[in-house]
Structure 1
Amino acid sequence: MSERLGFIGLGIMGRPMALNLLKAGYELHVHARREASMRPLADAGALTCASAADVAQRADVIFTMVSDTPDVEAVILGDQGIIQGARPGSVVIDMSTISASATRRIAAQLGEQGVAMLDAPVSGGEAGAIAGTLSIMVGGSEAAFERVLPLLRVMGKRIVHIGESGAGQVCKSCNQIVVGATIAGVAEAVLLAQSAGVDPARVREALLGGFASSRVLEVHGRRMIEDDFEPGFKARLHQKDMRIVGEAAAELGLCLPSAAMISQYLNALVGQGLGDLDSSAIAKVLRALADPESLV
């Protein structure tokens, strides 16, 4: 285990991902904005650091897992950011979901100092982070990818090098369109069954055996039927991801109507103060179109 690792961002996803690296026997240096977030990692044997720059000084490979593009920019390029401490030859792996164009700008600035950057957003939610079975979509140089692949395999099951810098983030945007559109489709199916007086659980059971089967139908269909929207992936974070999709579509001059509709469902959820529910609570928005009293 020659690589010394750093991990910045220890929230609902970052904490279990970092713990898996520790369990695999790697030396791990961690930093988070709140000391309480670092405590479980410190208890498991990680070394805590005062800043992102401090992490970068101590580590050969530095992971980041934070909320949005400005957070990544601050963590990597800020006054106490990774760029202030990273040595030539080190690798930064950003596993957040952010703008592809911002990723390319950050990678270029790190590259000027001899630091490689990979964008490696993930899919699979908290359960996948805990189990180490995430899908990881990677952009950046082939050489850097091959170097860190053993580390990514600790956290993920399906790991694909998509292409050059920013390609991983583009892939994640594609993922969020497909997931959001499928959630909306499952929510419409559940609503139709319920409104017609047909048992939606039986409908889901039947559909799982046919071409309509999907992980979304399996997991989120159950959530909708049981009205259980405890977050695996919060609606406000999916809203942020769809904002990134919209920005990319505007940059490229694309019409993505399904993505726009998903954004509106999520805007409605967040606007009603329900942004901390799972994004499958899109079902609540559809119910409210039929029964306005049902949203809250």
Structure 2
Amino acid sequence: MLTTENTIIGFIGTGVMGKSMAGNLLKAGFPVLVYSRTKEKALNLLEKGAEWVDSPKEMATKANVIITIVGYPFDVEEVYLGENGLVPNGKENTYIIDMTTSTPSLAVRIYEEAKKKGIHAVDAPVSGGDVGAKEARLSIMVGGDVEVFQALQPIFQVLGTNIIYQGKAGSGQHTKMCNQIAIASNMIGVCEAIVYAEKAGLNPETVLQSISSGAAGSWSLSNLAPRMIKGDFEPGFYIKHMIKDMNIALEEAESMGMEAPGLALSRKLYGELASQGEENSGTQALYKHWK
């Protein structure tokens, strides 16, 4: 069983969500090593007791559980499979957990290459945004070997509350695509509802009180609509990363012969916002399309 006494956790990626996730592992008593391309992003964690390492290669020699949550699939590929990556330099019986939203096919490649070296790999993307990361209430969707999923429970339980095994390698990423597809169309509806309330002369905050707990209720309506109303467009999840996720989902849907018109419309609207300089805003900035 993985405990604070026999586990050294490596954490790669200390952005909006990663910094809170690594912080929660520190609070739980785990020794944590951190690496990020920009060391300044990790300073708060270093002040809390995390130890800095200079590369994924160095981390692979020191940690026996390594978590990554980075930006794009090409980042994941470099961190895991590059010359200085985790798999080529990793130790037998290390656990590697990619919590980035990435491509299912890459998750399978990482799993297969890791298995050749006796390294246990899972894809475990998360949902819940910055709030879920801070409050350790993330939904974690896991693909890989079931016995590895079970062994990692002490780690997952520090980070989230809805931890579900989805199946073989790549299944976690496919599940995250389902999550992003649902969010994409729902966000359009949330924005239209708030703008409609404002144009009708209603108080959008009291409208939310009526509709957020009924049949229209959703995480985005409860957590992101209040930010829209306040004009708070700081990122809990970046538009540029949402576009990346939607592109993956559209490619996967096309490969399966599936039409996804709601997803395609959301991708188009977010693309327009990104072209106007909003790529680093939070996803709730879709509201600006109507304003």
TM-score clears 0.5: yes
**Corresponding position of 2:212:** 208
Instruction: Call closer, same or farther: CA 1:264–1:57 in 2, change over 3 Å.
Output: same
1:231 maps onto 2:231 in alignment: no
Residue deviations 1:236-269, cap 9 Å, x none? 1111111111111122121111111111111011
Residue deviations 1:254-293, cap 9 Å, x none? 11111111111110110110111111121211x1xxxxxx
Residue deviations 1:127-161, cap 9 Å, x none? 21111111111111011111111111011111111
**Corresponding position of 1:255:** 259
SS in structure 1 of the partner of residue 277 of structure 2: coil
Quick one: distance in 1 between partners of 2:160 and 2:213?
27
Higher deviation after alignment, 217-226 or 137-146: 217-226
SS in structure 2 of the partner of residue 29 of structure 1: strand
**Corresponding position of 1:290:** none
* Gaps in structure 2 of 5+ consecutive residues: none
Residue deviations 1:182-211, cap 9 Å, x none? 111111122222233333333222212421
Give TM-score scaled by structure 1 length. Answer: 0.93
**Alignment map for 1:186-197 (pairs within 5 Å):** 186-197=190-201
- Corresponding residue to 2:52 among 17, 33, 48: 48
Quick one: distance in 2 between partners of 1:9 and 1:282?
26
- Corresponding residue to 1:28 among 19, 32, 35: 32
1:74 maps onto 2:74 in alignment: no
Higher deviation after alignment, 33-42 or 15-24: 33-42
Per-residue deviation, 1:219: 1.9
- Corresponding residue to 1:99 among 98, 103, 107: 103
- Corresponding residue to 1:172 among 173, 176, 187: 176
Per-residue deviation, 1:179: 1.4
Conservation of the 8 A alpha-carbon contact between 2:197 and 2:207: yes
* Gaps in structure 1 of 5+ consecutive residues: 288-293
Per-residue deviation, 1:224: 2.5
SS in structure 2 of the partner of residue 93 of structure 1: strand
Quick one: distance in 2 between partners of 1:106 and 1:210?
42
- Corresponding residue to 1:161 among 160, 165, 170: 165
**Corresponding position of 2:245:** 241
**Corresponding position of 2:9:** 5
**What is the aligned residue count?**
287
Conservation of the 8 A alpha-carbon contact between 2:16 and 2:237: no
Residue deviations 1:202-232, cap 9 Å, x none? 3222212421122221222222323321221
Quick one: distance in 2 between partners of 1:201 and 1:151?
38
Per-residue deviation, 1:89: 1.1
Instruction: Call closer, same or farther: CA 1:190–1:109 in 2, change over 3 Å.
Output: same
Higher deviation after alignment, 214-223 or 152-161: 214-223
Quick one: distance in 2 between partners of 1:148 and 1:242?
29
Quick one: distance in 2 between partners of 1:23 and 1:212?
36
SS in structure 2 of the partner of residue 6 of structure 1: strand
Quick one: distance in 1 between partners of 2:99 and 2:24?
15
Quick one: distance in 2 between partners of 1:41 and 1:228?
26
**Corresponding position of 2:130:** 126
Instruction: Call closer, same or farther: CA 1:38–1:209 in 2, change over 3 Å.
Output: closer
SS in structure 2 of the partner of residue 273 of structure 1: helix
Per-residue deviation, 1:79: 1.7
Per-residue deviation, 1:37: 2.5
Conservation of the 8 A alpha-carbon contact between 2:139 and 2:160: yes
Give TM-score scaled by structure 2 length. Answer: 0.94
Identity over aligned pairs, percent: 38
1:58 maps onto 2:62 in alignment: yes
Quick one: distance in 2 between partners of 1:186 and 1:231?
17
Per-residue deviation, 1:97: 0.4
**Corresponding position of 1:291:** none
SS in structure 2 of the partner of residue 277 of structure 1: coil
Higher deviation after alignment, 68-77 or 250-259: 250-259
Instruction: Call closer, same or farther: CA 1:209–1:127 in 2, change over 3 Å.
Output: closer
Instruction: Call closer, same or farther: CA 1:200–1:153 in 2, change over 3 Å.
Output: same
Give the letter for the 2:159 counterpart: M
Quick one: distance in 2 between partners of 1:222 and 1:205?
11
Per-residue deviation, 1:234: 1.4
